[in-house]
Amino acid sequence: MNRPVLAICDTESRYCGRLDEYLRKNLNLSFDIHSFTKVKSLEEFAGKNLISLLVIAESAVAELKKKACESGVKNILILDEELSIVREDEEAFEEDAALGVNSEHISKFSPASEIVYHILDLCAKSPEDFESVGVRRSDGKGTVIGLYSPIARCGQTALSVKLCEELSKHGKTMLLNFDNFSPLPMIFGTETEGDITDLLYYSECEKSRFCIYLEKIKQSIGGFDYIPPAATAMQIKEIDYERLKNLIELIFKECGYEYMVLDLSDLPGGLYDILRYCNKVITIMGKTKADGYKLRKYEEVLSQNGYEDVCAAGVKITIPEGAGDRELAACARDLLYTEGITGGEKI
């Protein structure tokens, strides 16, 4: 199946070239991108090719012949250059909307990341126009690393982040966190419209929008991606083993990820099955007698319920007290090397 076409048109060649370069690097969807600095060239191209999305400067819109919109363009993102005439252009495109052309506006001088967000928003609103769009597909295999400890405040989330940073040097990596009222969005300084519960909905009910929505809500931090966690314990409990397994496999297959790090808590349903599903389970040990007692009880419960293999395959580590970023990074790097995770067999 041919990839959907995204066309860029701006008579200002320097801006057009920069936007083209940015979209190729940061719009992780399988668009066939074409750029034009002459409206006539765009018209000729549109007459022979279906353009799923046109990103066009306001000045170029004024030159664009109407037949190009009618024959070869389905969705338009207009890069406004002067706020004072935005209304006039919106009125001019009402007729195009009636012909089945969706149009939206954003300032040409907005950050490039906001232009990407608007592109994803248009894709999500009209998925029928982008059915074949996706990100880099793979064979569906990837490495899943789970972190779980019965000991609270042991540095598990901090280590999870450092593992993701190190893994991202070897392949496309994602972090999923399952803390109740997780502080990660605050720590990373990121807020989005959706979280993992929304992504689960799209994976189960609207697969045609899955890759688009994943790109829309994921955040990129330190070389890896993460999906904002569910807000409440009740929502996290609804993410059981089967749902999580299906989500992970869909992300591996459709989106080309190679590593998935699960920062686990007691809340996901079927926690022990999730641990068994992981290629590697990392458990952080505490330093007090109470911590040791909790760890022994946890292992007893696993054995009593037929999960001895989780204990046998798990890795126990101790994080040095007062460890900073550099020490945690070294710990993560040594762990990955010692366990052969980056070079190990994938599921």
Assess whether 45 and 92 both reside in one domain.
yes
pLDDT, tens digit (0-9, with 9 covering 90-100), for 247-297: 999 999 888 899 999 999 988 889 999 999 999 999 999 889 999 999 999
92 part of a folded domain: yes
346 part of a folded domain: no
Assess whether 195 and 226 both reside in one domain.
yes
Assess whether 175 and 233 both reside in one domain.
yes
Name the residue range of residue 19's domain.
5-130
Q: What is the pLDDT of residue 334?
A: 92
135 part of a folded domain: no
Q: What is the pLDDT of residue 65?
A: 57
pLDDT, tens digit (0-9, with 9 covering 90-100), for 11-53: 999 999 999 999 998 888 889 999 999 999 998 998 889 999 9
Alpha carbons 67 and 89: distance in angstroms, whole number: 17
Task: Kindly give the interhelix angle for 325-339 and 156-167, rounded to the nearest 10 degrees.
Answer: 60
Assess whether 165 and 224 both reside in one domain.
yes
Assess whether 110 and 174 both reside in one domain.
no
Assess whether 169 and 314 both reside in one domain.
yes
What value does the mean pLDDT take over residues 101-108? 87
347 part of a folded domain: no
CATH number of the domain that residue 73 is part of: 3.40.50.2300
Enter the tokens of residue 189: 């300084």
345 part of a folded domain: no
The closest alpha carbon to 283, from 148, 143, 144, belongs to 148
Assess whether 71 and 96 both reside in one domain.
yes
Is-contact 274 302, C-beta < 8 A? no
What whole-number percentage of the chain has pLDDT above 70? 88
Enter the tokens of residue 17: 């070239």
Alpha carbons 299 and 318: distance in angstroms, whole number: 17
Assess whether 123 and 152 both reside in one domain.
no
130, 160, 177 - which closes a domain: 130
Assess whether 97 and 202 both reside in one domain.
no
Assess whether 261 and 125 both reside in one domain.
no
Structural domain count of the chain = 2
Assess whether 180 and 307 both reside in one domain.
yes
CATH number of the domain that residue 333 is part of: 3.40.50.300
pLDDT, tens digit (0-9, with 9 covering 90-100), for 191-248: 667 899 999 999 999 887 788 889 888 988 889 999 999 988 899 989 999 999 999 9
| 94: Cβ contacts below 8 Å, ≥ 6 apart | none
48 part of a folded domain: yes
73, 98, 130 - which closes a domain: 130
Is-contact 195 161, C-beta < 8 A? no
Q: Identify the band that residue 124 occupies on the pLDDT scale cut at 50, 70 and 90.
A: confident
Phi, psi of 332 (to 5 degrees): -65, -40
178 part of a folded domain: yes
Is-contact 101 72, C-beta < 8 A? no
Is-contact 286 294, C-beta < 8 A? yes
Question: What residue type is 163 in one-letter code?
Answer: L
The closest alpha carbon to 160, from 203, 250, 103, 224, belongs to 224
30 part of a folded domain: yes
What is the 3-class SS of the chain, one letter each residue?
Answer: CCCCEEEEECCCHHHHHHHHHHHHHHCCCCCEEEEECCHHHHHHHHHHCCECEEEEEHHHHHHCCHHHHHHHECEEEEEECCHHHHHHHHHHCHHHHHCCCEEEEEECCCCHHHHHHHHHHHHHHCHHHHCCCCCCCCCCCCEEEEECCCCCCCCHHHHHHHHHHHHCCCCCEEEEECCCCCCHHHHHCCCCCCCHHHHHHHHHHCHHHHHHHHHHHCEEECCEEEECCCCCHHHHHCCCHHHHHHHHHHHHHHHCCCEEEEECCCCCCCHHHHHHHCCEEEEECCCCHHHHHHHHHHHHHHHHCCCHHHHHHCEEECCCCCCCHHHHHHHHHHHHHHHCCCCCCCC
130, 163, 187 - which closes a domain: 130
pLDDT score of 98 more than 50? no
Q: 88 vs 61, which has greater pLDDT? A: 61
Q: What is the pLDDT of residue 68?
A: 46
Assess whether 73 and 156 both reside in one domain.
no
